Amino acid sequence: MAQKQQQLLKQYLNLTPTTYQQYQLLVTNFDNLDSKSLRTLMEYYRKQYQNIIIIFINKLNDKQYLLLVGSSKTLHNNKQYQSQIILQNILKVCVGRGGGTPLLAQGTININLDQAMVLTILNAVK
């Protein structure tokens, strides 16, 4: 890993997830961080927490955001907590497209989300 990328990642290694229902939820916004760094951070937090759902929103430009959703292996047996299901639920509310697997999904949307908006969407699709 390049030194510049390592320094960039270090600033994000102390993020704290919120306890929500029976899992931890980490929603974080980034500004044009490269995909490789986002995936590295995703894996880091999946290893740090046993029951976690991670949602990274990465601003690509003024009209497009990359959405990366990951869930821990302990949660993916419950369909409601699978990454691609969470992504599809977000895409029902936000204009965008994407797909993935139970552990990792990604897509693009046209609005910036924050944790409150994500929680509203997650609560609406129970």
The distance between the two most distant Cα atoms of the chain, rounded to a whole number of Å, is 43
Task: Look up the CATH number of the domain holding residue 57.
Answer: 3.10.310.40
Task: Give the integer Cα–Cα distance in Å for 77 and 59.
Answer: 30
Task: Give the integer Cα–Cα distance in Å for 30 and 104.
Answer: 18
- The reported pLDDT for the residue numbered 126 is 56
Residues spanned by the domain of 93: 3-124
Query: What total of structural domains would you count in the chain?
Result: 1
- The reported pLDDT for the residue numbered 8 is 67
Q: What residues have CB less than 8 Å from 99, skipping those under 6 apart?
A: 84, 87, 105, 106, 107
Ramachandran area for residue 32 (φ above 0: left; ψ -120 to 50: alpha; else beta): left
CB 106 within 8 A of CB 96: no
Predicted confidence (pLDDT) per residue in 15-73, tens digit: 999 998 889 999 999 998 888 889 999 999 999 998 999 999 999 998 899 999 999 99
- The reported pLDDT for the residue numbered 78 is 85
Dihedral (CA of 78, 52, 25, 56) sign = negative
pTM: 0.90
pLDDT bin (cut points 50, 70, 90) of residue 5 is: low
